[in-house]
Every structure is written in structure tokens, then in C-alpha cells.
């Protein structure tokens, strides 16, 4: 497949890493507490994917809605401090519920609460990335939600669709599956228009789709408009997005088996090209590493950059910043997110990785730039 061709449903079949977002409208059965039986059903499907060797990361809403029920509140509050309180109460039940169901399959879960800042601040971005990557490598199922208790208005994601897309970018997932209370994206809001028709497939950044996507119900908030926007964001790193009803039997396993269900929103570019462009376009370059000839060759062979191959460091950068790697003549070779700040990197010049702890007193990672965070130019 060429870089410019869109990816269709086969992208779901081939997916090795999937982010699944489950919305409030669905999880809470229209406000009647957490729908634990339904959660059990999705967990069974996630476990089935896991057994096939697919990495699954869940983004689950429901904390505010579950907390409202526990607190006896009928109406979703608008005051941030009340939303925070409800989320703190509800997140407990949500975590317990997932943990219980996953343990039936012998699977371990991890609760990960993120804020927008965690993904926009470079250092925290890299921290979130390495923690999540480690969890996934350990075959743990991360269950992510927004950290509602500490966020304030201006740093809220505002909806978990966006969070799902940012996590798909972060982990370079192949697919984002958004489960909601409708069969997919319709050409008008089916709650208000009985003649609305399901859109089976489209391009993630087609403005016509954004135009038909409306707002959400009382429990969820983003509606279809944030789902279509999430698909656009996910497409930046090459992920395909499926929007489908979580109430359809075996919806997750059927989607990854390639069945035509829900709405599929394709990225324009094949994943590798999109991911590289996304990473390269992310940030301003904050520093420069000069590599010896051996390190240049290793990088071109898609390996990580170790301190031993670096001969000079310039600029002032912190862990998580983008740096450019140049060869001995100063020609750019690669760009990547660096694991150590400039001062530490200077101390590590030419050193073997097993010396890092003796030199710095700690080890963040054995490599200066991990190959997953590296784009060869
Ligand atoms: N074009 C559309 N197609 C389908 N649903 C739509 C559309 N426009 C708006 N909606 C609304 O979006 C809602 C789903 O979004 P939301 O309530 O935020 O759920 P969730 O909690 O799953 O994110 C649907 O119930 C529907 O009323
Ligand atoms: N973090 C919030 C989720 C916000 C929300 O409702 O999102 P969504 O399900 O996308 O409409 C919660 O757990 O209640």
C-alpha cells in the first residue's frame, strides 16, 4: 500500500495495538449507576483480543456519572468542584468493577489518570509514555480516565474522545475504537431525526462529516462532534477510528474480525509515514547531538541511540524535548525525543549505558533516544 492511500477495515483486522474508549452514555446505562453486566461483556471481548496477542488500552469514562448515582444527584453539576467530587467518588467503583471483571480472565489492570498537561508538557509526556509502554509490555491492561479531581476548566480535555485519540497518538496505536450509545455516525442526530442514516465509512478529516456530527446527551458531553474530531487527531499518527454501539453483541471482536459495523474513519496516510510526520512535526528542536559514524549507521538501521555513540551535545534541553542528531559533518540524520536533559547528556558522552547509574546516580533509560521516539531523516 502506498503512503497516500487510505486504510480501510483491514486496518482493524491487522491492528496489533488498539485503544478502546467507552463513553459515559453507555457505561452508566443512561444514569442508572454503572452497568456492571455490560462492562463484564466488554472486558470478555478485550480479554479475547489480549489472548490473540493484541495490546489493548482502555479509556473509560463513567466516573462522574457513577459518582452522581452514589451521591444521589439527579442532574450533572456544572461547577468544576462538584464534578471533581463526583469523579472522585465514582472512579473508585469504576476501577473496582474493571479489576473484578479482568481478574476473571487472569488479567491485571492498572488505573491511569491523565490530564491534558500530562500530554502537552514534554517531560510528563515522556513519563506517561514510558509508564504506559511498560504496562503494555507487561501485558497489563491500562484503564485510563481523565484525572477529573485535579483538573480545572482550562486544562480539561472536555471529553474522553479527545483523551482516547491522544492516547492512540502517544502509544502509536493502529486503531481507536469508540464505543457509544449509537450504532455509529449518522448523517443527522438519530435522537432527533428518525430518518437519519448510518455512515459506514469516510475519511477522518472530511469536513462534511464534522458538519453532520452534533453534540451529546445529558451524561456524556462531547456527542459525535468530539468523536469525529478524535478520529482526525488519531489519524495524525496513522490510526484508523471505528465508532460503534457498545450495545451490539461482541462489537469489539466483530470489528477486529473485519465485520462492517458502525462507522470507520480512515487516516489519509499509512501508519508509518503518518507517525513519522507526526513525531517530526511535534516540536521545536531544542538541541543537537553529534554522532560518530557507528551511531549514524545504527540509527539508520532503526536502532535506539545510546550515549556511547554521541561525541558532542549542544543546546539547552530537558528530558522529553526534541533534539536533532547530526553526523560528524553536521548533516542532520535523525530527530527524536531525548531521555536525558542537556547537562546529564553531556556527562554521558561516549559512555557505555551500564555506566549511567555510576555517572548520574540514577537511570532513566539505557538509551539517549529510544528508537520508537526517533525519526530518521
Ligand atoms: N450525527 C450523529 N450521529 C449519531 N449520534 C449523534 C450525531 N450527532 C449527535 N449525536 C449524539 O451523540 C450522542 C453520543 O455522544 P455522547 O452522549 O457524548 O456519548 P458518549 O458518552 O458515549 O461519549 C448520541 O446519543 C447522539 O444523540
Ligand atoms: N472523565 C469523565 C468523562 C467525561 C465524559 O463524560 O466523556 P464522554 O464519555 O466522552 O462523554 C468521567 O469519567 O466521568
- 281: how many CB neighbours lie within 10 A of its CB? 11
Name the more confident of 192 and 214.
192
Boundary residue ending a domain (276, 294, 328): 276
Ligand 1 pocket residues where CB is under 6 Å: 23-26, 61, 180-182, 185-186, 188-191, 212-214, 216-217, 220-224
**pLDDT of res. 173:** 93
Residues 6 or more apart in contact with residue 235 via CB below 8 angstroms: 204, 205, 241, 265, 266, 267, 268, 269, 274
* Residue 139 belongs to some domain of the structure: yes
**pLDDT of res. 158:** 57
Q: Is 180 annotated as a binding residue?
A: yes
* Tally of domains in the chain: 2
357-368: per-residue pLDDT in tens?
999 999 989 999
Pair (126, 103) in one structural domain:
yes
Q: Is 181 annotated as a binding residue?
A: yes
Q: pTM of the entire structure?
A: 0.81
Smallest CA-to-CA distance from 165 within 226, 222, 207 is with 226
What CATH number does the domain containing 314 carry? 2.30.130.10
Range in 177-186, 210-219, 251-260 with the lowest mean pLDDT: 210-219
Pair (251, 298) in one structural domain:
no
Pair (266, 340) in one structural domain:
no
Boundary residue ending a domain (259, 276, 293): 276
Closest ligand 2 atom number to CA of residue 226: 10
What CATH number does the domain containing 166 carry? 3.40.1160.10
Closest ligand 2 atom number to CA of residue 25: 9
**pLDDT of res. 321:** 86
* Residue 315 belongs to some domain of the structure: yes
In whole angstroms, give the CA distance from residue 50 to residue 96.
20
Ligand 2 centroid to 328 CA: how many Å?
A: 50
Query: Atom 9 in ligand 1: which residue has the minimum CA distance?
Result: 214
**pLDDT of res. 279:** 66
Q: Distance between alpha carbon 84 and the CA centroid of its chain, in Å?
A: 23
194-222: per-residue pLDDT in tens?
999 999 999 999 999 989 988 766 554 67
> For residue 76, which ligand has an atom nearest its CA?
2
Pair (192, 66) in one structural domain:
yes
Ligand 2 pocket residues where CB is under 6 Å: 23-24, 61-65, 87, 145-146, 148, 159-161, 216, 220-222
Predicted ipTM beyond 0.90: yes
Q: Calculate the average pLDDT of the chain.
A: 89
Range of the structural domain that residue 298 is part of = 283-376
CA torsion 357-360-366-370 (nearest 10°) is 160
Pair (155, 242) in one structural domain:
yes
Pair (78, 196) in one structural domain:
yes
120-165: per-residue pLDDT in tens?
766 777 788 889 989 999 999 999 999 988 876 544 555 789 899 9
**pLDDT of res. 25:** 81
Ligand 2 centroid to 157 CA: how many Å?
A: 9
Cell of 155: 486544562
Amino acid at each position: 500500500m502506498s503512503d497516500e492511500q487510505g486504510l480501510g477495515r483491514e486496518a482493524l483486522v491487522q491492528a496489533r495495538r488498539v485503544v478502546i474508549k467507552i463513553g459515559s452514555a453507555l457505561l452508566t446505562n443512561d444514569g442508572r449507576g454503572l452497568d456492571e453486566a455490560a462492562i463484564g461483556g466488554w472486558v470478555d471481548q478485550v480479554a479475547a483480543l489480549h489472548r490473540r496477542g493484541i495490546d489493548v488500552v482502555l479509556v473509560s469514562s463513567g466516573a462522574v456519572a457513577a459518582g452522581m448515582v452514589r451521591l444521589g444527584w439527579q442532574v450533572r453539576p456544572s461547577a468544576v468542584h462538584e464534578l471533581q467530587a463526583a469523579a472522585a467518588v465514582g472512579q473508585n467503583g469504576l476501577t473496582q468493577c474493571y479489576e473484578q471483571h479482568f481478574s476473571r480472565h487472569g488479567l491485571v489492570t492498572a488505573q491511569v489518570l491523565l490530564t491534558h498537561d500530562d500530554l502537552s508538557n514534554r517531560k510528563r509526556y515522556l513519563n506517561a509514555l514510558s509508564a504506559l509502554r511498560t504496562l503494555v509490555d507487561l501485558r497489563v491492561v491500562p484503564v485510563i480516565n481523565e484525572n477529573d479531581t485535579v483538573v480545572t476548566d482550562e486544562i480539561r480535555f472536555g471529553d474522553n474522545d479527545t483523551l482516547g485519540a491522544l492516547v492512540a497518538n502517544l502509544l502509536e496505536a493502529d486503531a481507536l475504537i469508540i464505543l457509544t450509545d449509537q450504532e455509529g455516525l449518522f448523517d443527522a442526530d438519530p435522537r432527533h431525526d428518525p430518518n437519519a442514516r448510518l455512515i459506514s465509512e469516510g475519511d477522518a478529516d472530511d469536513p462534511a462529516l464534522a458538519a453532520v456530527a452534533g453534540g451529546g446527551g445529558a451524561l456524556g458531553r462531547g456527542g459525535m462532534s468530539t468523536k469525529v474530531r478524535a478520529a482526525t487527531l488519531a489519524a495524525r499518527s496513522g490510526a484508523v477510528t471505528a465508532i460503534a454501539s457498545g450495545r451490539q453483541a461482541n462489537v469489539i471482536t466483530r470489528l477486529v474480525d473485519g465485520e462492517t459495523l458502525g462507522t470507520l474513519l480512515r487516516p489519509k496516510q499509512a501508519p508509518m509515514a503518518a507517525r513519522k510526520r507526526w513525531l517530526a512535526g511535534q516540536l521545536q528542536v531544542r538541541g543537537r547531538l553529534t554522532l560518530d559514524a557507528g551511531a549514524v549507521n545504527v540509527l539508520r538501521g532503526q536502532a535506539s541511540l545510546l550515549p556511547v555513540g554521541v561525541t558532542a551535545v549542544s543546546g539547552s534541553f530537558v528530558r522529553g524535548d526534541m533534539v536533532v542528531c547530526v553526523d560528524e559533518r553536521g548533516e542532520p540524520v535523525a530527530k527524536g525525543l531525548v531521555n536525558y536533559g542537556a547537562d546529564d547528556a553531556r556527562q554521558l558522552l561516549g559512555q557505555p549505558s551500564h555506566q549511567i547509574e555510576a555517572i548520574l546516580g540514577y537511570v532513566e533509560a539505557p538509551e539517549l533516544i529510544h528508537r520508537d521516539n526517533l525519526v530518521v531523516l
